[in-house]
């Protein structure tokens, strides 16, 4: 299983169709058409904010479809993208849980106990805090799953709130060259 197969499990059919449609121009080599329709995805994945730079990138590189998929999921509110050196993720994490309908008071209390940060190493509290939150969320039948992107930028994370059964299935069958399950 990879990010595209995961998206098929969590997206409604019409949105999965939109994702497949989004990947189409990339696979066909029509980079200008992709950029015209999805500049936010290019910005979030590559930090490129204009067509000229994207076309220059595309001369020698390919935009990874799994990274596009993760950005699409985040853009649509199914996920949250987190950088490897974030100083305070508390507000973003609380907003994400509330937006996904999983804002148990105990989970929010854990998130607000101390500032949640990433530092791409052993000195951050990101993984520990999310593990504690997951203990609470499991009572609701859901779980925060986190993937690390190894294509463009180490320590870039995609968080998804998944039904516990889906998360177990994904975890057991994960086979991706672009993303490693982090939590």
CA 140 vs CA 28, 104, 105: distances in Å: 42, 9, 12
Q: In whole angstroms, how far apart are CA 128 and each of 3, 110, 114, 132, 136?
A: 24, 11, 12, 6, 13
For 120, phi then psi, to 5°, come to 50, 45
For the entire predicted model, the pTM comes to 0.90
Calpha distance 70→17 (Å, rounded) = 15
Provide the angle, in degrees to the nearest 10, between the axes of the packed helices 105-113 and 126-137: 170
Backbone angles phi, psi at 94, to 5 degrees: -60, -45
Question: The tokens of 88 are what?
Answer: 């305070």
Question: For 107, which DSSP code?
Answer: H
Q: Are 81 and 157 in contact (CB under 8 A)?
A: yes
Distances (CA, A) of 82 to 33, 50, 68, 93, 139: 27, 22, 15, 10, 25
Can you give the pLDDT at residue 154? Answer: 66
Measured over the CA atoms of residue 47, residue 52, residue 54 and residue 59, the dihedral's sign is negative
Which residues of the chain are under the pLDDT cut of 50? Answer: none
* Tokens linked to 28: 């066909």
Local structure of 166: helix, strand or coil: helix
Percentage of the chain modeled with pLDDT above 90: 79
Whose tokens are 């994207």? That residue is 54
pLDDT for residue 67: 93
CA 37 – CA 125 distance, rounded (Å): 37
Residue 74: per-residue pLDDT: 95
């Amino acid at each position: 299983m990879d990010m595209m197969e995961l998206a098929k499990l969590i997206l409604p059919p019409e949105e999965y169709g939109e994702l497949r449609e989004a990947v189409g121009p990339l696979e066909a080599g029509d980079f200008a058409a992709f950029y015209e329709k999805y500049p936010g995805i290019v910005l979030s994945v590559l930090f490129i904010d204009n067509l000229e730079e994207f076309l220059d990138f595309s001369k020698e590189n390919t935009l990874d479809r799994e990274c596009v998929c993760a950005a699409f999921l985040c853009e649509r509110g199914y996920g949250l993208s987190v950088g490897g050196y974030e100083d305070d993720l508390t507000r973003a994490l609380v907003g994400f849980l509330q937006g996904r309908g999983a804002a148990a008071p105990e989970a929010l209390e854990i998130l607000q106990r101390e500032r949640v940060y990433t530092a791409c190493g052993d000195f951050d509290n990101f993984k520990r805090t999310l593990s504690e939150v997951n203990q609470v969320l499991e009572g609701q039948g859901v779980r925060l799953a986190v993937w690390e992107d190894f294509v463009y930028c180490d320590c870039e994370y995609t968080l998804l709130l998944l039904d516990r059964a889906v998360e177990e299935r994904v975890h057991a069958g994960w086979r991706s060259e672009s993303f490693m399950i982090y939590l």
